[in-house]
Structure 1
Amino acid sequence: MNLIPALDAETTQKPTAFPRVIVPAAAFGIVLGLAGLANAWRVAEGLWHIAPIASRCISILATAIWALLLIAYGCKWIFQREKALLEIEHPIQCCFVGLIGISAMLIGGLCLPYFPAAAQILFWLGALWTVVFAVWRTGGLWTGGREPTATTAVLYLPTVAGSYVVAIIGVPLGYPDVARLAFGAGFFSWLAIESVLLNRLLTAPGLAEPLRPTIGIQLAPPAVGSVAYLSITSGAPDLLVHAMFGYALLQLLLLFRTLPWVLKQAFSASYWAYSFGLTALATAALRMAERGETGIVTQLATPAFILANAAIGVLAYLSFVALIRGKLFSR
């Protein structure tokens, strides 16, 4: 993935025999997008009474890719430890390491109807990884010494995305108290980081082209937060979830506005940064409709669902082509 030129330069200058392809932690974003789409289909199946074949196929694909990425990432620590250390010490790339725990919890959620014991194990392992990494990474940020240009939307991943996923998966597994605490951690972390990030985008130099696709993560906090809030509450959707969903719609429009600027960067796996937010937006709209929503959100549910499927379809096709050409990840 061409998110960091320094890593790419290091990789091309010192080729190794095995493995040639270096899989970055950011690649786990693919799992987030696919798992998010599978969950959207699950809600759609109950709402529209359609066959579960689509969600099952997407769940199997997400699980298979997650397993392959986990093996590849483990191989990096074994055979190219210096690259793994360089990644986890980098001020931007290190935040993607948190996706390992998040993806494990999402896969656990997909496994729940079929393998409940495995779902429990994956949830707790993922939650433990998420908490430990978030505390370690955020504590390091509190010590200062960070360049303003290193402030990007990836800062949401350790605390905000991780906490929201704990809330989303924790409820069906039987841990509503844990889920409510996790939602609070994610919600207030989002508000704090949002102000810092917007200040950086408005006042600091523009994002370098390889980093621009990461702006797609901007959609995730309000969209995934809406799903998390619906997970820990019951009854008709209230004012807060409508407010979060409305802010997510604003972020979506802003992402459309910035898309020509982002597309100056050639396609790579980094474009999957858009996927989790898009699928969460569709899931939130469908869940609100399922919970008795009768307003405009209900009318937006179908377009949001179609958009999420179309976006994941395009990302999957382009990723397959890039993988065949050896351009999906850095060498």
Structure 2
Amino acid sequence: MRAVRRTCAAASVTMPPFLGRRGRLKVCFMSVQNRKFPIPLSYFSAPLGMFALGLAWRYGAAAGLLPAWAGEGLLAVAFAAWLFLTAAYVYKIAAFRADFLADVRDLVQCCFISAIPITAMLAGLSALPYAPVTARVLICAGAAGQVAFSMYRAAGLWRGLHTVAATTPVVYLPTVATNFVSTSAFAALGLHDFALLFFGAGVFSWLSLEAAVLGRLRTEAAVAAQVRGIVGIQLAPAFVGCGAYLAVNGGRFDVFAMMLLGYGCLQFLFLLRLLPWLGEGGFTMSLWGFSFGLAAMAGCGLHLLAAGRLPALGLAMAAAGSGFVLLLMAGTLRLMWQGRFLVRG
């Protein structure tokens, strides 16, 4: 209740004196409930990308390709951002219930709920060398959470509740990204059979969605300029899937791994050609939709370098993926400096 009073004071909510103390607090609470929360759910894409790149750099350090401080430092930044956003979203559920329910009901925004268990698992992987028990709890909780949410959301849409317009690359998050990250996480815990189960779930979910997503992008109205960055999620499945596959096959670049790399590189070239169109709305936080795929591309490039396979391609992938994510971080700091990070509403 004290938090509500402080929020009301900050919002300058004007209430008539005849309502009394309880009445004023009730009106104030209703006003807070109807306001727009200034941190959208899609902002979880930022720690998602930073975690993925930090873990890629950690692998690079283990392979003798990068200094250890780079990956660990980035993981620390990602962990801090994740804690902040998680706390903010818990507050949103409590104090901005209408906004939270709107997220759940929205066919596009609801998919970003999957970023919460995904980042929890990535946080667990980041913490694994330092706090193994906590890491296991985060990974298992994240895996259970992602399965529960996909049962609710993805299976729920089988009743004819989805639309063609909402079939953007963001639909990969609840069943593809979640299961590929679960694969890598359980492989890191040594639970190889469980990792393979998640990998199969991710691969066939990806195959079932790919044609529908690309068909929508080709034939329906263009995604709005301000949120066009979500198209960048199209980069993720191949590279994140390749990283997951390397986690369960011992890091070998066999035929299937190279096929995944080839398709991922093709998607990168397609998106590179579309950069002017994707950037028509200027720099917005939606561009973090690229980050998971870019970070995974960097990780696959470092794996190529460590394996001595196609070193020129590996170096290009590692440099491009890392460089673009660092540009996203710089752009976000600029938004903060300009006071445009929070959504006004």
Q: What is the TM-score with the length of structure 2 in the denominator?
A: 0.87
Shift, 1:285, TM fit: 2.3
Aligned length in residues: 315
Shift, 1:84, TM fit: 0.7
User: Which residue, out of 172, 192, 195, partners 2:188?
Assistant: 172
The residue correspondences of 1:1-331 to structure 2 (distance < 5 A) are 16=32, 22-234=38-250, 236-290=252-306, 292-294=307-309, 296=310, 298-331=311-344
Shift, 1:50, TM fit: 4.0
Range with bigger deviation, 153-162 or 170-179: 170-179
Shift, 1:278, TM fit: 0.7
Check 1:165–1:196 CA distance in 2 against 1; reply closer, same or farther (3 A cut). Answer: same
Aligned residues of 1:167 and 1:231 also touching (Cα < 8 A)? yes
C-alpha distance in structure 2 between counterparts of 1:169 and 1:183, whole Å? 11
C-alpha distance in structure 1 between counterparts of 2:262 and 2:66, whole Å? 28
Check 1:245–1:50 CA distance in 2 against 1; reply closer, same or farther (3 A cut). Answer: closer
Matching residue of 2:8: none
Shift, 1:134, TM fit: 1.0
Q: What secondary structure sits across from 2:341 in the alignment?
A: coil
Check 1:235–1:263 CA distance in 2 against 1; reply closer, same or farther (3 A cut). Answer: closer
Shift, 1:126, TM fit: 0.6
Matching residue of 1:10: none
RMSD of aligned alpha carbons: 1.8
Matching residue of 1:6: none
Check 1:115–1:191 CA distance in 2 against 1; reply closer, same or farther (3 A cut). Answer: same
Larger Rg: 2
Aligned residues of 1:40 and 1:280 also touching (Cα < 8 A)? yes
In the alignment, residue 302 of structure 1 is paired with which amino acid?
L
In the alignment, residue 166 of structure 2 is paired with which amino acid?
A
Range with bigger deviation, 204-213 or 85-94: 204-213
In the alignment, residue 62 of structure 1 is paired with which amino acid?
A
C-alpha distance in structure 2 between counterparts of 1:99 and 1:187, whole Å? 18
Query: Percent identity, aligned pairs only?
Result: 35
Q: What secondary structure sits across from 1:283 in the alignment?
A: helix
Q: Cα deviation per residue 1:88-129 (whole Å; 9 max; x = unaligned)?
A: 110110000000000000010000011100100000111111
Aligned residues of 1:92 and 1:154 also touching (Cα < 8 A)? yes
Range with bigger deviation, 240-249 or 39-48: 39-48
In the alignment, residue 62 of structure 2 is paired with which amino acid?
G
Q: What secondary structure sits across from 1:202 in the alignment?
A: helix
C-alpha distance in structure 2 between counterparts of 1:66 and 1:34, whole Å? 10
Check 1:50–1:221 CA distance in 2 against 1; reply closer, same or farther (3 A cut). Answer: closer
Shift, 1:287, TM fit: 1.8
Shift, 1:169, TM fit: 1.1
Check 1:112–1:18 CA distance in 2 against 1; reply closer, same or farther (3 A cut). Answer: farther
Aligned residues of 1:40 and 1:305 also touching (Cα < 8 A)? no
In the alignment, residue 312 of structure 1 is paired with which amino acid?
V
Q: What is the TM-score with the length of structure 1 in the denominator?
A: 0.91
Q: Which ranges in structure 2 are unaligned for 5 or more consecutive residues?
A: 1-29
Q: Higher RCO, 1 or 2 (CA under 8 Å, sep at least 6)?
A: 1
Aligned residues of 2:79 and 2:123 also touching (Cα < 8 A)? yes
Aligned residues of 1:95 and 1:158 also touching (Cα < 8 A)? yes
Shift, 1:200, TM fit: 1.0
Q: What secondary structure sits across from 1:150 in the alignment?
A: coil
Q: Which ranges in structure 1 are unaligned for 5 or more consecutive residues?
A: 1-13
